[in-house]
Amino acid sequence: MVDVATLLAFSFASLASLFMAWAIGAGSSGSTPFAPAVGANAISVMRAGFLVGICCLLGAIFQGANVSEAVGQDLIQNVTLSAEAATIGLTIAAILVAIGIFTGYPIATAFTVTGAVIGAGLAMNGDPAWWKYREIATLWLLTPFVGGAVAYVTARALREEPIPERQVVLILAGIVGALLANVEFAVLGSDGAGASIAVAAAGVVPGPTAGAVVAVTLALALGCAGVLRWDMRRGTSVAERHFLLALGALVAFSAGGSQVGLAVGPLVPLADDVGLTVTALLVGGGVGLLAGAWTGAPRMIKAISQDYSSLGPRRSIAALIPSFAIAQVAILYGIPVSFNQIVVSAIIGSGYAAMDSGGGVSVRKMGFTVLAWVLSLAGAIVVTYVGFLGFTWLFG
């Protein structure tokens, strides 16, 4: 039987979590996945907001557990976040993200939530989880360089003459298919663990497991390339736009799997006290992402698609492929990561590949954005630390 005080405290924390989920859906998760497609005129802003909400909900349910558990349990040691700490941390982080939404600058959600959880944990006399911080910092630092470099190389390959554009696009479709074959889904695993399509299929195919995984990966890669080649009968440009929309859906799905943990992660240590499972938290967080995407994402979609770079279909494809790959790496290892950082970095890389032909990147805009990222992490730590100490002093 759950006592009234525990249930009331969890209710306040849940409201803060729902607010955070809405802010994420309206900001990074809701805006960045389809922003390149909108910039390439492959889909309207309103339709992009609608589709990204559905994809985020599905991603939250099927891929959200790893990051949620990491945010709730791995960012601070020797202390368990209380309902009060979770409420204060999530509220402060959501306010910072909302400020970014309404000012047009994409605040890195992962930075604010990570900082808020760390600040709250330190205020509760917890110890820093240095091993996790090193893991997180490595991915955060590598993301702009790796994502931007891959996007740049891909965009250049689509523009160069030695290999026809049609063939490059088919190769890229095959790469995406291979990545998709090795993405983990909760429903494919056993005993609560996730499994990829390749691993799940290999379990029912006779022969060595490693060989079966490779075979399934190649089959899905060839299948994706084959479908796109069939679509090219109506023209390469039409097929590219369809490919771009498919990539946007995959990135939005990945956004849900990654970003929902930022909203519901602080509730994970409290779930057992009220008889809820992690899956139930993921569903609630996914609904919050959906609501945010449908109500607040269009503004940020416009900001990212038009302010950061002049995008066409080819450069948009180049931006989304590394975004999908990096997001899935973060999900696999349970690392909170900002989709603003991932996609904006890739957009910059693809934009630089075309600067000699009219593509442009706003350096001033990027400078303010990077500054906002840094300040959001430091500010979240300090404000949450002071806020929780003030709450404890006032209410004991």
Question: For 26-67, how does the pLDDT look when each residue is reduced to its tens digit (9 = 90+)?
Answer: 876 666 778 777 776 778 888 888 898 999 999 999 999 999
Query: pLDDT at residue 2 above 80?
Result: no
pLDDT in tens, 253-280: 999 999 999 999 989 988 887 888 888 9
Higher-pLDDT residue of 282 and 358 is: 282
Please measure the distance between the N-terminal and C-terminal CA atoms of the chain and give it in whole angstroms. Answer: 26
**pTM greater than the 0.85 cutoff:** yes
Give me the mean pLDDT over the 187-206 stretch: 75
Query: pLDDT at residue 79 above 80?
Result: yes
State which amino acid sits at residue 94.
A
pLDDT in tens, 327-349: 999 998 999 988 778 877 887 88
pLDDT in tens, 113-167: 999 999 999 999 999 999 999 999 999 889 989 998 999 898 888 876 677 888 8
CB count within 10 Å of CB 254 equals 27
Q: What is the pLDDT of residue 177?
A: 94
Residue pair 48/37 in contact (Cβ under 8 Å)? The answer is: yes
Confidence bin at 362 (pLDDT 50/70/90) = low
Bridge partner residues of 185 (DSSP): 195
Query: pLDDT at residue 75 above 90?
Result: yes
Give the percent of the chain with pLDDT over 70: 86
Q: What is the pLDDT of residue 179?
A: 94
Q: What value, to the nearest 5°, has the Cα angle with vertex 356 and ends 106 and 162?
A: 110
Indicate the domain borders of the chain: 4-159+252-395
112: left (phi over 0), alpha (psi -120 to 50) or beta: alpha
For the record, the structure tokens of 152 come out as 């740049």
- What is the C-alpha to C-alpha distance for residues 257 and 246, in angstroms, rounded to an integer? 17
Q: What is the pLDDT of residue 309?
A: 46
- What is the C-alpha to C-alpha distance for residues 78 and 127, in angstroms, rounded to an integer? 6
CB count within 10 Å of CB 25 equals 35
Residue indicated by tokens 């360089």: 145
Mean per-residue pLDDT of the chain: 83
